[in-house]
Structure 1
Amino acid sequence: MSVRDEFNDKNIRVRNDNLLLLKAYRGLKLFILTCLIRGLNLKIIFIID
């Protein structure tokens, strides 16, 4: 394995890690938004009742 191959391998790995982080971050944001919306809906239901 040449130095260049090793460098490319590291770059690909870093890129994949960044993609995973981005997906995790987006998933977390969606999860938090969903929780907030559900919480608001529950509060509204309690206020109406």
Structure 2
Amino acid sequence: MRWLPLCINLLLLLRTIGHVRRIAVTLPHWANAPRLIQGMDLILTVARVSMSL
């Protein structure tokens, strides 16, 4: 869980500037996500190893 400190830092940073992280959608596989968020103001977050496939 190397990512956990990064996630906590991100949450603290967002809080200090008055923002809150909201998870809008969770998917079992990221491959369909680009079509889902197309035309929306959402951000897609995926694992780096997924992008090398």
* TM above 0.5: no
TM-score when normalising by structure 1: 0.35
Q: Which has the higher contact order (CA 8 A, sep 6+)?
A: 2
Structure number, greater radius of gyration: 1
- The structure where helix makes up a greater share of residues is 1
TM-score when normalising by structure 2: 0.33
